[in-house]
């Protein structure tokens, strides 16, 4: 086994270690380096994909995986003003009639769960919305 192969095997045997390091800029964009410790099986699977031509390299695979994860991750904003939260919840319920869990409304609108419960409780007590008898 070559020295490089032994090094790759040793590197692949560690898990759960991350290092973020700033790298010199190329052109206008700054670039950052992320070092990740993988299991042996993960590393071998990535190397097979790279050597099979699916990706140019392990780094290319990592970039593609990160971009894919970032694209599917939704950023949730938190609204703090109770009037804004109340208006947003009422607008949501007007557009989406029927029973809803408060947690569902909070998630869809990007509202903190505690604030959503407070506003929903207030809206129910004022008669602006009513509590559902059950969800169908």
pLDDT in tens, 63-122: 999 888 887 765 555 556 777 888 889 999 999 988 899 999 988 888 888 888 889 999
Q: Flag whether the pTM goes above 0.75.
A: no
Domains of the chain (ranges plus CATH)?
Answer: 3-72 (no CATH), 74-136 (1.10.10.10)
Using CB atoms within 10 A of its CB, is residue 46 exposed (0-12), middle (13-18) or buried (19+)?
Answer: buried
* CA 86 and chain centroid, separation: 26
């Amino acid at each position: 086994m070559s020295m490089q192969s032994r090094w790759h095997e040793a590197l692949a045997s560690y898990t759960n270690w991350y290092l973020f390091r700033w790298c010199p800029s190329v052109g206008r964009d700054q670039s950052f380096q992320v070092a990740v410790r993988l299991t042996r099986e993960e590393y071998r699977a990535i190397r097979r994909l790279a050597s099979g031509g699916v990706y140019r390299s392990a780094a290319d695979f990592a970039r593609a995986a990160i971009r894919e994860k970032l694209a599917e991750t939704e950023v949730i904003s938190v609204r703090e003003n109770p009037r804004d939260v109340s208006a947003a919840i009422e607008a949501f319920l007007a557009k989406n009639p029927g029973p809803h869990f408060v947690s569902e409304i909070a998630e869809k609108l990007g509202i903190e769960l505690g604030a959503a419960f407070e506003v929903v409780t207030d809206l129910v007590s004022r008669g602006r919305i009513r509590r559902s008898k059950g969800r169908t």
